[in-house]
């Protein structure tokens, strides 16, 4: 790859002059600047991020803060990350991925070292301790999530409360009146992760409005956790005819358990999953599902960050409407089974 010395030789100037053209730290004549820029173009020289930052006060880098905690579904997180990276490249930005769960320390380290132009955060908690720190940074931030107080910080996400309502409305329309919720792991609820809290609140509200009999339980990872969760649901509400599953990792063990115990899907129990489309269609039975729109949310987060960097107006709360796709895991039940 060509170096700054190669550019200097081709332009007939010193390497320091090339550096000054890149950084803008000293006035350079128009003729000399033109020779340097022509040499850069001819040689295909790409100045490193530090030089670009000096010249433009920008790094062309976004930070994506996605802590890989033990209770997160890494493949789903990576779908969001892929969407952010793809969208960022369309704006000529790279992405610095921060996966360590280090609270505000990582944010402040990256921001204060001027490594990034803006930050995008995932896995938000209801009263997230990172929010006050974000307000003190000079870089704009975008949240994939909806904490209780996000004043002055843009948020984008799926409307999880509406997703819960959509799931129950669909099942109620098929005649189901006794419905269980297989929720995320207890750790997700303990951390008051915003997507789980909003889905649960929407589920309970819609259940009351639709006059359904419902029961909810968190579900620990693995087959044993699924077995315990299903047993708890059945113990608390007799005659469950449908399940809403808001836990991607529980789907396959749940289907295996239902099959092993002679409960047929959808003949004996209907299922609506909340998961990415590829997960729903990879199951032994293609699941009726509400999509987790990782691509759309990640793209919107980047677009919002770009608008903030350009000084343009943004909507500070953007919740995407849920989309339910009917497949093979729901059936209408007769009045005698309600």
Q: How far apart are the first and last CA of the chain?
A: 71
| 33 & 129 share domain | no
Greatest C-alpha distance within the chain: 90
| 148 & 166 share domain | no
Can you say how many angstroms the Cα of residue 81 is from the centroid of all Cα atoms in its chain?
7
Write the DSSP assignment of 73-136 as a string of letters: -HHHHHHHHHHHHHHHHHTT-EEEEE-S--HHHHHHHHHHTT--SEEEE-S-BTT-THHHHHHH
Predicted confidence at residue 25, as pLDDT, reads 61
| 209 & 329 share domain | yes
User: Is 53 part of any domain?
Assistant: no
Position with higher pLDDT, 288 vs 91: 288
User: Is 56 part of any domain?
Assistant: no
Residue range 214-258, pLDDT digits in tens = 999 999 989 999 999 999 999 999 999 999 999 999 999 999 999
Quickly state the pLDDT bin for 54 (edges 50, 70, 90): very low
Please name every residue paired with 142 in a beta bridge, in sequence order, or none if there are none: 120, 154
Predicted confidence at residue 71, as pLDDT, reads 79
CATH number of the domain to which 28 belongs: 1.10.260.40
User: Is 138 part of any domain?
Assistant: yes
| 194 & 259 share domain | yes
pLDDT at residue 52 greater than cutoff 60: no
Percent of the chain whose pLDDT exceeds 90? 70
User: Is 149 part of any domain?
Assistant: yes
User: Is 54 part of any domain?
Assistant: no
Position with higher pLDDT, 28 vs 158: 158
Position with higher pLDDT, 103 vs 67: 67
Predicted confidence at residue 103, as pLDDT, reads 79
| 248 & 286 share domain | yes
pLDDT at residue 300 greater than cutoff 80: yes
User: Is 52 part of any domain?
Assistant: no
User: Is 22 part of any domain?
Assistant: yes
- Number of structural domains the chain divides into: 3
Can you say how many angstroms the Cα of residue 32 is from the centroid of all Cα atoms in its chain?
47
| Euclidean distance between CA atoms 218 and 199, whole angstroms | 12
Position with higher pLDDT, 58 vs 123: 123
| Euclidean distance between CA atoms 266 and 330, whole angstroms | 5
Quickly state the pLDDT bin for 211 (edges 50, 70, 90): very high
User: Is 287 part of any domain?
Assistant: yes
List helix spans (H) across the chain: 4-11, 15-23, 30-43, 49-56, 74-90, 103-112, 130-136, 160-173, 186-190, 194-209, 222-236, 251-260, 277-281, 294-309
| 333 & 242 share domain | yes
| Euclidean distance between CA atoms 142 and 180, whole angstroms | 34
Quickly state the pLDDT bin for 56 (edges 50, 70, 90): low
| 20 & 166 share domain | no
User: Of the candidates 67, 123, 118, 52, which has an alpha carbon nearest to the alpha carbon of residue 88?
Assistant: 118
pLDDT at residue 279 greater than cutoff 80: yes
| 184 & 239 share domain | yes
Entry field: residues in the chain = 338
Work out the number of other CB atoms within 10 angstroms of the CB of residue 320. 16
CATH number of the domain to which 214 belongs: 3.40.50.2300
pLDDT at residue 183 greater than cutoff 70: yes
| 172 & 315 share domain | no
Model pTM? Answer: 0.82
Q: Give the mean pLDDT of the chain.
A: 91
| 42 & 93 share domain | no
Cβ(181)–Cβ(160) below 8 Å: no
| 96 & 208 share domain | no
Predicted confidence at residue 1, as pLDDT, reads 73
Structural domain that includes position 132: 61-158+294-320
Average pLDDT over residues 4-14: 90
pLDDT at residue 177 greater than cutoff 70: yes
| 180 & 286 share domain | yes
Predicted confidence at residue 29, as pLDDT, reads 86
| Euclidean distance between CA atoms 184 and 250, whole angstroms | 9
Can you say how many angstroms the Cα of residue 202 is from the centroid of all Cα atoms in its chain?
19
């Amino acid at each position: 790859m060509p170096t700054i010395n190669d550019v200097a030789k081709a332009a007939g100037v010193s390497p320091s002059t090339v550096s000054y053209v890149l950084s803008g730290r000293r006035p350079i004549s128009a003729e000399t600047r033109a020779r340097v820029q022509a040499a850069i173009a001819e040689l295909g020289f790409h100045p490193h991020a530090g030089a670009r930052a000096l010249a433009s006060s920008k790094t062309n880098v976004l930070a994506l803060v996605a802590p890989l905690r033990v209770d997160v579904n890494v493949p789903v997180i990576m779908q969001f990350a892929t969407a952010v990276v793809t969208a960022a490249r369309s704006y000529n930005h790279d992405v610095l991925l921060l996966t360590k769960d280090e609270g505000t320390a990582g944010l402040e380290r990256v921001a204060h070292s001027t490594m990034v132009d803006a930050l995008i955060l995932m896995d938000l908690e209801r009263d997230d301790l990172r929010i006050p720190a974000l307000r003190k940074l000079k870089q704009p931030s975008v949240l994939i999530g909806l904490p209780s107080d996000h004043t002055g910080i843009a948020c984008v996400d799926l409307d999880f409360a509406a997703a819960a309502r959509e799931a129950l409305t669909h099942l109620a329309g098929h005649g189901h009146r006794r419905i269980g919720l297989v929720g995320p792991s207890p750790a997700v609820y303990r951390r008051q992760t915003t997507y789980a809290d909003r889905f649960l609140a929407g589920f309970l509200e819609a259940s009351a409005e639709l006059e359904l009999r419902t029961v909810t339980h968190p579900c620990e990872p693995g087959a044993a956790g699924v077995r315990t969760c299903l047993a708890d649901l059945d113990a608390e509400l007799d005659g469950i005819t449908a399940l809403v599953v808001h836990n991607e990792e529980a789907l396959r063990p749940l289907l295996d358990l239902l099959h092993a115990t002679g409960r047929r899907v959808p003949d004996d129990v209907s299922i609506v999953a909340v998961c990415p489309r590829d997960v729903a269609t990879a199951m032994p039975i293609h699941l009726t599902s509400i999509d987790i729109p990782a691509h759309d949310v990640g793209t919107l987060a980047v677009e919002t960050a770009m608008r903030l960097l350009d000084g343009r107006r943004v909507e500070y709360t953007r919740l995407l409407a849920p989309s339910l796709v009917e497949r093979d895991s729901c059936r209408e039940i007769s009045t005698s089974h309600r």
